Chains A and B, each alone.
Chain A
Amino acid sequence: MDWEVILTNAIRAAVGREALVFALLAIGLNLHFGYTGLLNFGQAGFMLLGAYGVATIVATFGGSLWLGLFLSILLAVVFALFLGIPTLRLRADYLAIVTIAAAEILRFIARSPSMSGITRGSFGLQAFADEFYAINPLPAGSYGIGRVSFGANDAWLLLVGWGVVAAAFVVTSLLVRSPWGRVIKSIREDEDAARSLGKNVYAYKMQSLVLGGVIGALGGWLNAVSIQSVQPDSFSTPITFFAYVALIAGGTATLLGPIAGSMIFWAILSLTEGILRGAIGAGFIPTTIMDGNQVGQVRFMLVGLSLMLLMIFRPQGVFGDKRELLLDAR
């Protein structure tokens, strides 16, 4: 077993593309669930819109990548309004049901044969982000520290991606520490109390839903640009749950929680995979118990186990405040 490689890969995963994409998804969810108390189970839908917004504009209609970015954001806003208008006046559970269904509907629309003229169905769209890499100011070469290094294009994407994460972090920090943030937190605690104090609860929930959704869509946009490919089935419901896992592990309703949680999530995933493969390769785990093909499934079991342990020994997440958990929410 080569521990150096295993650890290097884990660190690469912690700062890599998936970590930053899920950090954005989780920041959005944190705004929804952590601060406003909205149960959005359709973050994958926002991600899909962010990804397809750019992919269709460039690959299908021959437009520019930046027009695609604009469309990605616009689609996320429209989707949030579409979800929010009928459900935000109702109890929280309705939003949960509607969002999980709506995200799946989007995925089925994207893969349906009738839409194949635009989305190319289940094949998806590829090679639409050359424009992004064409403006890469980094000269060819390797960037990073020691063995944790990336090629110029990857480094460019990570730079922009983590820049977007930082921007989302700054915006949410400013918001949740402002009187606006106080209102959405009060809605999380008891929306009737907020209403009785003259707060337009519906409008605040809508603002939160739109902003969190747009941040999720930016994650989708970055993901699509980085792999130059969109494929409908990569936006299925588990994506949303992974983002929730990252959020809860890092600490719900904390500012750094979603970012750290996403990095930890992908690092653990890479670590468990590396260790399992290493152990099988070195013969520590006999093939009668498991072989290399099963690593993909087993690593998720181990991630689940480590999350259970985290919830038992640190239920507030990495950055959470334990005092908050001791209070009943109502």
Chain B
Amino acid sequence: MPADPKAALDRVPPEPGARKPDPLLVADGVQRAFGGLNAVDVGHLEVQRGAITALIGPNGAGKTTFFNLLTGFDTPNAGQWTFDGRSLGGVSAYKVARLGMVRTFQLTKALSRLTVIENMKLGATGQSGEHFFTALLPGVWRRQEREIEKRAEELLERFKLAHMRDEFAGTLSGGQRKLLEMARALMARPRMVMLDEPMAGVNPALKQSLLDHIRDIRSDGTTVLFVEHDMDMVRDVSDWVVVMAAGEVIAEGPPESLSSNRTVVDAYLGAHHDAALTLEDEERRLETTEDAEGSAR
């Protein structure tokens, strides 16, 4: 792993579908339509290993749908994608997670009537006590359970949730649930975490610590791909930004390059947002619309 993931991306051209030096996730021609609407139509996308990649775009750009497709929660109409060289097309969601690509959800899924520590322990993969018959023999899984519990407690400590250890997750605040969900995803020792709007509904004070956690995840060697609306956060934490609009990847690049990118600004604010309409312009438009309506009749 390169010492500075950002430096590794220095020579990557800031254009949609750019090749990365060491991609962990590669998607090709992934398409998903809902009725007549092309929700996702991603030509080519690579996500650099060990980096924090932000996926941004206006509402309805298809970011969450794209997440769902990549993680097996939805099935695309076309396309393939590989994770660390292994094709994930048609692989079910739980297998994707076992392969090391773990996601969180936009609407946080804390398991309310499980305690915080149980939530955490659930995240660990490869538990022998999760098999029906071995579950009946506590002697078989008790040792592993203790190790998992120890790791869970360390993570809770790190995410400042240790004092909530034995409370039901349903009693946590919205921000704490985000923290819990992120910590729980890490219990699976993922190679890549996909965070769907980790900052939504989180107060500014907690945001800063969430940012630190995301950086920590990267320093552990885990690749991060996250969807976010908060541009400050995107600029602050990400090594690379991918912009989606109307289902397509319209721009890519380092975070500082994007605020000046015409396509991106247009996608967010509309193509003519800064050009004042002259009176002639307006009249010409009206005429063409009326003409079109007239010929339709």
Contact = CB atoms under 8 A, between A and B. Distances in A.
Interface of A: 171, 174-175, 178-183, 185-186, 188-190, 192-201, 207, 211, 253, 323-324, 326-330
A230 to B, nearest CB: 31
Interface of B: 71, 73, 93-95, 97-98, 102-105, 109, 111-114, 118-119, 121-123, 125, 127, 129-132, 135-136, 138, 141, 145, 168, 170-171, 184-185, 187-188
Contacts of A189: 111-114
Contacts of B138: 174, 178
Contacts, number: 110
A200 B125 CA distance: 11
Contact of B171 (A178, A253, A327, A329): A327
A186 B135 contact: no
Contact of B113 (A178, A180, A327): A327
Contacts of B127: 179
B106 to A, nearest CB: 11
A207 B125 CA distance: 19
A324 B168 CA distance: 8
Q: Which of A193, A197, A327, A329 has the most CB of B within 10 A?
A: A197
A174 B136 CA distance: 6
Question: Lowest 6 CB-CB distances: which A-B pairs, in order?
Answer: A327-B170, A179-B129, A180-B135, A178-B135, A198-B97, A193-B109
Contacts of A195: 73, 93-94, 97
Given A178-B130, A178-B135, 15 more contacts: A179-B145, A181-B135, A186-B111, A186-B122, A189-B112, A194-B94, A196-B97, A196-B109, A197-B184, A197-B187, A198-B94, A198-B188, A324-B113, A329-B112, A330-B112
Given A175-B135, A196-B104, A180 B129 contact: yes
B168 A194 contact: no
Contacts of A198: 94-95, 97-98, 102, 125, 188
A175 B105 contact: no
Contacts of B94: 194-195, 197-201
A182 B118 CA distance: 7
A193 B109 CA distance: 6
A328 B132 CA distance: 29
Q: Which of B97, B122, B141, B184 has the most CB of A within 10 A?
A: B122
Nearest to A181: B135
Contact of B132 (A185, A207, A324): A207
Given A182-B114, A183-B130, A190-B111, A197 B170 contact: no
Given A189-B114, A192-B109, A197-B97, A183 B122 contact: yes
Contacts of B135: 174-175, 178-181
B131 A180 contact: yes
B172 to A, nearest CB: 10
Contacts of B130: 178-180, 182-183, 199
A194 to B, nearest CB: 7
A186 B102 contact: no
B121 A179 contact: yes
A12 B194 CA distance: 59
A199 B125 CA distance: 8
Nearest to A198: B97
